[in-house]
A and B are shown apart, each in its own frame.
Chain A
Amino acid sequence: MLHLILFSLFVIICVAGAVNLLLQRHPINSALSLVVVMGSLAVEYLLLGAEFVAAIQVIVYAGAIMVLFVFVIMLLNAGEEEHTQGSRVAWLLGLPGALAITVVIAWALVQSEGSAVALGVTPDAQKAFGNAADISQLLFHQFLLPFEVTSILVLIAIMGAVVLAARPESERREG
Chain B
Amino acid sequence: MSITLFIIVSVIKIALILFVLLTAVAYTVWLERKVVGHMQNRWGPTRVGPFGLLQPAADGVKFLFKEDLTPPHVYKPLYIAAPMIAVVFAVTSIAVIPFGNWLNVGKISTPFQITDVNIGLLVVLGITSLGVYGVALSGWSSNSKYSLLGGLRASAQMVSYEIALGLSLVGVLMLAGTFSLRGIVDAQAGHFWGFIPNWFIFRGGQIVAFFIYLTAAYAETNRIPFDLPEAETELVAGYHTEYSAMKFAMFFMAEYANMITVACLASLLFLGGWRGPIFGPDWLQQLLPLFWFVLRVFAFLFVYIWVRGTLPRFRYDQLMAFGWKFLLPLAIANLVVTAVVVALT
- Top 9 A-B pairs ranked by shortest CB distance? A63-B129, A55-B122, A58-B126, A71-B155, A59-B126, A74-B140, A55-B119, A51-B119, A55-B126
Please, could you name 22 A-B residue pairs with CB atoms under 8 Å apart, sorted by A? Answer: A32-B133, A32-B137, A35-B133, A51-B117, A52-B179, A55-B122, A55-B123, A55-B126, A56-B122, A58-B126, A58-B127, A59-B122, A59-B126, A59-B166, A62-B126, A63-B125, A63-B129, A67-B158, A68-B155, A74-B139, A74-B155, A131-B118
Residues in chain B near residue A55, CB distance under 8 A? 119, 122-123, 125-126
Contact of B119 among A28, A74, A132 (CB under 8 A): A132
Residues in chain B near residue A68, CB distance under 8 A? 155, 159
Q: A63-B162, A71-B136 are in contact. Are A28 and B129 (CB under 8 A)?
A: no
Is the Cβ of A28 less than 8 Å from the Cβ of B118?
A: no
Asked whether any CB of chain A lies closer than 8 Å to the CB of B78, the reply is yes
Q: A63-B162, A67-B133 are in contact. Are A75 and B152 (CB under 8 A)?
A: yes
Q: State the CA gap A72–B129 with chains docked (Å).
A: 17
Within B108-131, the residues touching A (CB, 8 Å) are 117-119, 122-123, 125-127, 129-130
Is the Cβ of B126 less than 8 Å from the Cβ of A67?
A: no
Residues in chain B near residue A70, CB distance under 8 A? 133, 136-137, 140, 155
15 more CB-based (< 8 A) A-B contacts, given A63-B130, A71-B136:
A28-B140, A32-B78, A32-B133, A35-B133, A51-B117, A55-B126, A58-B129, A62-B126, A63-B125, A63-B162, A67-B132, A70-B140, A74-B136, A74-B139, A74-B152
Interface of B is mostly: helix
- In the complex, the chain A residue whose C-beta lies closest to that of B141 is A28
- In the complex, the chain B residue whose C-beta lies closest to that of A58 is B126
Asked whether any CB of chain A lies closer than 8 Å to the CB of B100, the reply is no
Is the Cβ of A63 less than 8 Å from the Cβ of B119?
A: no
Q: State the CA gap A62–B89 with chains docked (Å).
A: 13
Q: What is the size category of the interface that chain B forms with chain A?
A: 20 to 34
Asked whether any CB of chain B lies closer than 8 Å to the CB of A22, the reply is no
Is the Cβ of B132 less than 8 Å from the Cβ of A63?
A: yes
Contact of A67 among B119, B123, B136 (CB under 8 A): B136
Residues in chain A near residue B139, CB distance under 8 A? 74
Residues in chain A near residue B155, CB distance under 8 A? 67-68, 70-71, 74
Asked whether any CB of chain A lies closer than 8 Å to the CB of B12, the reply is no
Residues in chain B near residue A75, CB distance under 8 A? 152
Q: State the CA gap A35–B81 with chains docked (Å).
A: 14
Within B152-181, the residues touching A (CB, 8 Å) are 152, 155-156, 158-159, 162, 166, 179
Residues in chain B near residue A71, CB distance under 8 A? 136, 152, 155-156, 159
Interface string of A68-92 (1 = CB under 8 A from B): 1011001100000000000000000
Q: What is the size category of the interface that chain A forms with chain B?
A: 20 to 34
Interface string of B137-149 (1 = CB under 8 A from A): 1011000000010
Is the Cβ of B140 less than 8 Å from the Cβ of A64?
A: no
Q: State the CA gap A28–B142 with chains docked (Å).
A: 14
Residues in chain B near residue A59, CB distance under 8 A? 122, 125-126, 129, 166
- Rounded to whole Å, the gap between the CB of B310 and the closest CB of chain A is 31
Residues in chain A near residue B272, CB distance under 8 A? none
Is the Cβ of A67 less than 8 Å from the Cβ of B117?
A: no
Residues in chain A near residue B122, CB distance under 8 A? 52, 55-56, 59
- Rounded to whole Å, the gap between the CB of B162 and the closest CB of chain A is 7
- Rounded to whole Å, the gap between the CB of B120 and the closest CB of chain A is 10
Residues in chain B near residue A28, CB distance under 8 A? 78, 137, 140
Asked whether any CB of chain A lies closer than 8 Å to the CB of B151, the reply is yes
Is the Cβ of A64 less than 8 Å from the Cβ of B133?
A: no
Residues in chain A near residue B162, CB distance under 8 A? 63-64
- Rounded to whole Å, the gap between the CB of A145 and the closest CB of chain B is 20
Q: State the CA gap A28–B81 with chains docked (Å).
A: 14
- In the complex, the chain B residue whose C-beta lies closest to that of A57 is B126
Q: State the CA gap A63–B152 with chains docked (Å).
A: 15
Interface string of A129-147 (1 = CB under 8 A from B): 0011000000000000000
- In the complex, the chain A residue whose C-beta lies closest to that of B179 is A132
- Rounded to whole Å, the gap between the CB of A20 and the closest CB of chain B is 13
Residues in chain B near residue A67, CB distance under 8 A? 129, 132-133, 136, 155, 158-159
Q: A67-B133, A68-B159 are in contact. Are A74 and B126 (CB under 8 A)?
A: no
